[in-house]
Chains A and B, each alone.
Chain A
Amino acid sequence: MYKILNDLRTNEPSFVKRLSDNAFIPFDKANVDYLEYLEWLAEGNTPEEAD
């Protein structure tokens, strides 16, 4: 499970938080954790909305 986090300055989504270990994952397609998140999305899952 994941949760979207917004940048406080821009209020735009800037990170996704992996809830199993509270890892903050940047939106970078060279980051394998982000690629795993994209695969999770492609499987039809939905992250929690940003606060």
Chain B
Amino acid sequence: MALSKILPASRDQSVDAANLILNGEMKIAQRGTSATGLTTGGYRTVDRHYIQITSAGTWTLTQSTDAPTGEGFSKSLKFECTTANASLGASSAIRIQNKIEGQNLQSLAYGTSSAKSITVSFWVKSSKTGTYVFDLQNTDNSRISCGTYTISSANTWEKKTITLAGDTSQGFDDDNNGSLTVSWWLAGGSNFTTGTQATVWEAQDNTNRAVALTVNLADTIGNTFYITGICLNVGDQAPANYPHRSYGEELALCQRYYQIVEGGYFGSSVAGVSNAGKIYFISEMRASATVTWTTALRNYGGSWTVGAPIGFYMTTDQTKYAHPYKIASVSTQDAEFWDRYTLSAEL
């Protein structure tokens, strides 16, 4: 039997169906399924999608169960405006961003005469019709390329597909840092709209990035925007079938950037002496991780201070484990502190 006959049905064989976007189906939400009162950006709710909100109203973000029927998606990322800003300032902006490591972009062959096109496909539903802007930003070399799409029916799921030509001029660094930022613009002030809309790769001029955007999603309380089923693949067409990943596969990929882990110390404690524990990471992270204590799980014997450790012993490489330490106030042969932490090595 020919090899092509036994490939999974979900793999379109005429295009490179590998999805460069992580969590494009919005399945993973390690930070929680809802965040309210947002006036500034950050990673909120669903993993890997950075939300930029700059002087553009107040928002609730949700990992929603509203998804296009019959397309194999069960979740979406939902924006809902709770305080409007109908008069955007120059620097105002709302963007959904997905940042990709340079070492994962080498197959694009950017910076060579063989640079390949990128096709992005996604499902959107918005309460506001109009023209929206999607852009690619090469953050290694300050270059941008943009595309547009139109939402023609309010509150209706629509699939959009945009193909952008490759950049023969500049490539991506082959390392673990962010090299490509993919952005969906939902609002933009004059700092982003007063130039000439970029449509092919060019030196980054922010005034050229959202010129075609006709929507200010922040203009009215209750405005909503949903997105899911994002696929960004090499080539000039989207795969016929979305390259779904299992929940476990997607979670493992996201944990390169963010994890929730538990760890601590078990053994004898000596009063007044620091006792170092250990946190083993679930998997190796992209870079040495920022460690944040969140929850006390067990405190026994040594009368440890409940809460964050005093510090961490330095390791030359904090991508796989970390050493929190606390000072006991009581000496005992049977002592334990055990806590929950978040680890962040986001781009």
A8-B274, A23-B292, A28-B288 are contacts. A15–B314 as well, Cβ < 8 Å? Answer: yes
Using an 8 Å CB-CB cutoff, how does the interface string of A1-32 with B read, 1 for contact, 0 for none?
00001111110101100100111111010111
Q: How many A-B residue pairs have CB under 8 A?
A: 59
158-211 of chain B: CB within 8 A of chain A: 176-178
A12 to B316, CA, bound (A): 13
The answer on a CB contact under 8 Å between A24 and B177 is no
A32-B346, A33-B344 are contacts. A26–B313 as well, Cβ < 8 Å? Answer: no
Q: Which residue of B lies closest to A33 (CB)?
A: B290
A7-B313, A9-B313, A15-B312 are contacts. A26–B288 as well, Cβ < 8 Å? Answer: yes
A26 to B176, CA, bound (A): 16
A14 to B274, CA, bound (A): 17
Contacting residue for A26 out of B177, B293, B318, B346, CB 8 A: B318
The answer on a CB contact under 8 Å between B286 and A30 is yes
Residues of B within 8 A of A34 (CB): 290
The answer on a CB contact under 8 Å between A23 and B291 is yes
Q: Which residue of B lies closest to A8 (CB)?
A: B274
Instruction: Give the Cβ gap from B265 to chain A, nearest Cβ, in Å.
Output: 14
Interface size for chain B: under 10, 10 to 19, 20 to 34, or 35 or more residues? Answer: 20 to 34
Residues of B within 8 A of A33 (CB): 290, 344
Majority DSSP secondary structure for residues of A touching B: mixed
The answer on a CB contact under 8 Å between B292 and A21 is yes
Is B289 on the interface with A (CB-CB < 8 A)?
Answer: yes
Contacting residue for A31 out of B308, B314, B345, CB 8 A: B345
The answer on a CB contact under 8 Å between A24 and B290 is yes
The answer on a CB contact under 8 Å between B313 and A8 is yes
Is B347 on the interface with A (CB-CB < 8 A)?
Answer: yes
The answer on a CB contact under 8 Å between B311 and A30 is no
A8-B274, A24-B291, A25-B290 are contacts. A30–B176 as well, Cβ < 8 Å? Answer: yes
Using an 8 Å CB-CB cutoff, how does the interface string of B306-347 with A read, 1 for contact, 0 for none?
001001111000100000010000000000000000001111
Instruction: Give the Cβ gap from B341 to chain A, nearest Cβ, in Å.
Output: 9
The answer on a CB contact under 8 Å between A30 and B287 is yes
A9-B313, A15-B312, A15-B314 are contacts. A24–B288 as well, Cβ < 8 Å? Answer: no
The answer on a CB contact under 8 Å between B311 and A8 is yes
Instruction: Give the Cβ gap from B173 to chain A, nearest Cβ, in Å.
Output: 11
Residues of A within 8 A of B311 (CB): 5-6, 8, 15, 24
Contacting residue for B289 out of A6, A21, A26, CB 8 A: A26
Q: Name the 10 nearest CB pairs between A and B, nearest first.
A: A14-B314, A30-B287, A28-B288, A26-B288, A7-B314, A23-B292, A33-B290, A24-B291, A22-B308, A5-B311
- Residues on B facing A (Cβ under 8 Å): 176-178, 274, 286-293, 308, 311-314, 318, 325, 344-347
- Residues on A facing B (Cβ under 8 Å): 5-10, 12, 14-15, 18, 21-26, 28, 30-34
Please name 5 pairs of A and B residues whose Cβ atoms are closer than 8 Å in the assembled complex, sorted by A: A15-B314, A21-B292, A23-B290, A24-B290, A24-B312
